[in-house]
Every structure is written in structure tokens, then in C-alpha cells.
Structure 1
Amino acid sequence: MNQNIDASLVAGNHKPCAGYQAENFLWEVRDRVGIVTLNRPERKNPLTFASYAELRDLFQRLRYADDVKAIVVHGAGDNFCSGGDVHEIIGPLIGLKAPELLMFTRMTGDLVKAMRHCPQPIVASIDGVCAGAGAIIAMASDLRLGTSRSKTAFLFNRVGLAGCDMGACNMLPRIIGQGRASELLYTGRSLGGDEALAWGFFNRVCAPESVLSEAVKLANDLAHGPTFANGLTKTMLHQEWNMGIDEAIESEAQVQALCMLTEDFGRAYHAFAAKQKPVFEGN
């Protein structure tokens, strides 16, 4: 780090997450990779009001983490996430009035916003059940590794709700196409792992016993790459949804010029000239 940077600027914008102690899921950092484990395997890892809020807060905090360069999200046991807990979320929602219901739906949407705005690429490791809000978390990740036996379902329709939940009507068509997204959101049917790969929802299908290790390896590769540039790639993938082509090309020109000022760009050139593999440092 540049020693000439004002310490108060660093203190306000660099907040390590390696020592973060999660209360509603497991969190650890391995060699620049943060790993979120949804940890209620006896119930297929459902979410609660508390876990929604803590996940939102963690991903917001990760915007300022200088010790985490990529993230893996997975579920304990043989399932990813069964969505909102029927008894701890769905039941209590029945008795709430509009202001409190809107507070809940905004909180769940803020989790997706936080995932999309943190600069670290997020890799979802998906096995077994991936339903409801679990499917949304998978959708909001940058890369998705699944298994043939996984079943992904945007099942809001099946509980009397609209498919437009937590950004699904915006993001899902961009991943798999309008027609396919419409089918999943209107019917709530499960998308098997091999079909998810064919449709482009999964980037790769792995064996159940290796899907997590493959996801961690992919995240580790990203975490040791040009992470400043990777963060800008994620930002532009998100921002360019709302741009015309001319705006996008100009924005990418500005971003690429900025990346050319980094030391990683110079490291890559010198390594290439020496016929060596570059060692990136994210600056």
C-alpha cells in the first residue's frame, strides 16, 4: 500500500472482514477468499429474518474489505438453500400490515443490491435444493457451479406471489433469456442441473463431492488475479444494463484507461516479456 495515503482515508475505506464473526451462518476467509456457508442443513438451509439482514450487512461491508478478493456462497450438507423459512418467515408475514411487509421485501431486495455492488466476484456452489430466495442468491452471484442432481426453482408463483421478487424479472431474463425466464417465473417448476447448464444458468456442472472445492478453486484464481480490474469488470457488467452502446463504449474506454495506470498492468507486460506468469497484487 502507498505509505503516503492519509491514514484516516484508509481507515474509512479499508475494513478487513477476515475477523468477522457471523451469527446466522458460517463465515471464514481462506487466502483472500471469503466463504459463506448457509448452515441449517437439517432444514435444507432456509433463511430467517435475521440471516437475511446479516447477509445484507456482510455484503455491504465487503465493499470496503481489502482482505477479501472473491467470495463463495454454499449450503451445508447436500442442499444450497430452500428459501425463506416457512415457519419463521412465511407464517409471520401473514399477520403483518403493508408498512412492515414493505420493510421485509425491501430488506430482501437490499441483499441482492449489496451482492451486486460489492466488488468481489461471487461464486455460488449449488447442490440439491436451490429454491425461492436461495435461487435468487444463486442468480445474484456472478458465477454458478452446480450439480446434475441440483434443483433450482423460483417458486414464488406456487405460494401465491408474483415472480417479480428481489430483481428476478430484471436479472433472470438477462442470464437465460426472456422466454425461459418467463417459464420458470410463471410455473415455479424446478430446473435440473443439466438443464441449468444448457440454459446458461450454470457455468459448470460438477460432481456433488467436488462442487464446493471447484467453486473455491475458481474463486481463489479470481482472488489472485488483477482484482482491481476484476472489480471494475463487475461494476461495468452491472452498470451497462442501463446504457446505450455509445455510452457503454465510452465508459469502458475510461475504465480501461484507468486500469492501464495500475501496477498490475505493468506486471503483466513485464511477465509476458520474460515469458513468466504474472503475479498480480490488485493495485
Structure 2
Amino acid sequence: MTFDPATYCPEHFLWSYRDGIATIRLDRPERKNPLTFASYAELRDTFRALVYVKDVKVVIFAPNEGNFSSGGDVHDIIGPLVRMNMTELMDFTRMTGDLVKAMRGCPQPIIAAVDGISAGAGAIIPMSADMRLGTPDAKTYFLFNRVGLAGCDMGACAILPRIIGQGRATELLMTGRGLGAEEGLNWGYFNMVVSKETLMEEANKLATQIAAGPTFANGMTKNQLNMEWDMSLDTAIEAEAQAQAICMQTKDFERAYNAFVNKEKPVFEGD
């Protein structure tokens, strides 16, 4: 799957694109934007395809009409799950996990702009993003425990402790209690908390800043952040040496040098 970001029209979520920045919104605001089997799969395929869509520099995953996402739809997902056999359930849980893999695997930085409810899988998506902005009304629930499931869903036990720490992650995953905006900011879950009115302005400002940077090098940074989770220090340092040497071969590195010499601001082109 490849696509032109300017004309891409997904079936199960909203997509907009401008100046290198793609914005995604789930589109069932009357139900607080739940996920369905189809939206999971289409999101997964989109993030996989972004590996090859160089015109997209940054992705913003945004709320819609006051809420981010209530997670898996009770009628469209939860109901069918209780009637599935083990093979079918494994197919589903692997498919949802593949969305997280696709988000972490695409080179574009992903900014989650969170307002209102962000629950279950609707909390996993911001967790899997590279940066998170919230509003004072943002409420995050990793509520798998509340429906009789383990908190280890879609990479939560791997990613969440790395953001907020093991003890705090354990508390949220074993109680399902809500994480408020200020607490999330203090814990390092949110990069910043801004007003509802300025959420998208701030998200776009951050996205514009990143999009104007060396996008090839930013993709390398994201890749190393992913890879170094399970590397020894020696292996990580060697991997970073190789990654940096590759970046030193790019024209953006030369552009930055020439701009510095000429006392100008570099204009990066991503090559």
C-alpha cells in the first residue's frame, strides 16, 4: 500500500495533510470515537505505508469533538470477542498489537494531541506516539483490568514503564484508575498540558518545528530509540556510531555546516 498524502481518503478515520504534516482523527464523536476491527486494520496499514511516503514529515493523532478515543467499541468489538475461539482471539490481539508496531516502526514522529477520554486501546495509541500533548480535560484510562483482562495489552507493559516508571505503570495497569492531565504531566506522560482552545495550535507548532528539521536524521533517532530498548550500553553506543556516520553522509548535514559558516539558518530537505 502506497498513497499520495494530499489525496488519501481512508474509509474508517479522518485524514488531512498540509505542509508535510498529516493529521488523523477517529470519526465517531457521538460514541467518543471508539475503535472497530476495520479502523484498527486501516490505521495499521496506513502507518505501515508511511514508511514509503516521504512527503509526510510528522503525524498528529488528534481528538474529535472533545474526546480522543473510548477504545474498543463495546458492540462492534467486545461483543464479538466473547464469542470467538482461541485462534480467532489470537488473530485479533496480534492485529491490534500490529498497530503499535506500525506506529513505532514508521520513521515519522507521531504527536498525540489528547483531549477528553483516552481509554483502553484509545490510551494505547497516545502511549505509542513519540510525544503527547494534553488538555486539562484529558483523562487517560488503561482500563483492561476493569473488564477482567491483563494490563499487558498492545505493548503496555513494555512501553508505559519506560515513560512513567515501573511502579506508576504497575499501579495504572492493575487498578485501571484514571490518569489526570496534571498528574500525567508531572509523571512525564504528557510533554505539555495546554488549553482545549490551543491544543491543535500547539500540536501543529511542534509538528512544524520538527517537520522543518532534518527528517532523515529524525527518523534515525526514532529508530535508535526503538532499537536500544533491549541493547547493552556497548551495543547501543556502536549502533549510534553507525547511525550518526550514516547521517553524516546526508546533504542535510552539509547544508547545516554551510549555513553555520555563512551565519544562516539551515533549510533541511530530508536527504
Q: Is 2:67 aligned against 1:95?
A: no
Q: Secondary structure at the match of 2:196?
A: coil
Runs of 4+ in 1 over 6 A off after TM superposition: none
Equivalent residue, structure 1, for 2:250? 262
Deviation at 1:24, TM superposition (A): 0.6
20-29 vs 110-119, which deviates more?
Answer: 20-29
Q: Is 2:221 aligned against 1:194?
A: no
Contact 1:46 1:82 in 2 (8 A): yes
For residues 110-149 of structure 1, the aligned pairs below 5 Å read 110-149=98-137
**CA distance in 1: counterparts of 2:4 and 2:216, whole angstroms:** 16
Q: TM-score, normalised by structure 1?
A: 0.94
Contact 1:17 1:62 in 2 (8 A): no
Deviation at 1:146, TM superposition (A): 0.4
**CA distance in 1: counterparts of 2:185 and 2:117, whole angstroms:** 16
Deviation at 1:15, TM superposition (A): 5.2
Q: Is 2:156 aligned against 1:152?
A: no
Q: Give the letter aligned to residue 123 of structure 2.
A: A
Contact 1:46 1:81 in 2 (8 A): yes
Uncovered stretches (5+) of structure 1, i.e. residues with no partner: 1-11
**CA distance in 1: counterparts of 2:4 and 2:233, whole angstroms:** 37
**CA distance in 2: counterparts of 1:132 and 1:242, whole angstroms:** 26
Q: Give the letter aligned to residue 58 of structure 2.
A: A
**CA distance in 1: counterparts of 2:51 and 2:117, whole angstroms:** 29
Deviation at 1:26, TM superposition (A): 0.4
Q: Give the letter aligned to residue 94 of structure 1.
A: V
For residues 168-207 of structure 1, the aligned pairs below 5 Å read 168-207=156-195
Q: Secondary structure at the match of 1:29?
A: strand
Q: Give the letter aligned to residue 256 of structure 1.
A: Q
Contact 1:39 1:75 in 2 (8 A): no
Q: Secondary structure at the match of 2:92?
A: helix
Q: Give the letter aligned to residue 109 of structure 2.
A: P
Q: Give the letter aligned to residue 86 of structure 1.
A: V
Q: Give the letter aligned to residue 141 of structure 2.
A: A
Contact 1:116 1:238 in 2 (8 A): yes
For residues 181-260 of structure 1, the aligned pairs below 5 Å read 181-260=169-248
Q: Secondary structure at the match of 1:210?
A: helix
Q: Is 2:5 aligned against 1:17?
A: yes
C-alpha distance after superposition, 1:113-155 (max 9, x if no partner): 0000000000000001010001100000000000111100100
C-alpha distance after superposition, 1:42-95 (max 9, x if no partner): 111100111001000100110111110110001210011110011111011111
Q: Secondary structure at the match of 2:30?
A: helix
Q: Secondary structure at the match of 2:108?
A: coil
**CA distance in 1: counterparts of 2:201 and 2:92, whole angstroms:** 34
Contact 1:81 1:130 in 2 (8 A): yes
Uncovered stretches (5+) of structure 2, i.e. residues with no partner: none
C-alpha distance after superposition, 1:166-202 (max 9, x if no partner): 0000000011000000000000000000000000000
Deviation at 1:272, TM superposition (A): 1.3
Q: TM-score, normalised by structure 2?
A: 0.98
Deviation at 1:270, TM superposition (A): 1.3
Match of 2:33 among 45, 66, 75: 45
Q: Give the letter aligned to residue 136 of structure 1.
A: I
Q: Give the letter aligned to residue 68 of structure 2.
A: F
Q: Is 2:75 aligned against 1:109?
A: no
Deviation at 1:279, TM superposition (A): 0.5
**CA distance in 2: counterparts of 1:29 and 1:147, whole angstroms:** 23
Q: Give the letter aligned to residue 96 of structure 2.
A: T
CA RMSD between the two structures = 1.1
Deviation at 1:16, TM superposition (A): 3.6
Q: Give the letter aligned to residue 69 of structure 1.
A: K
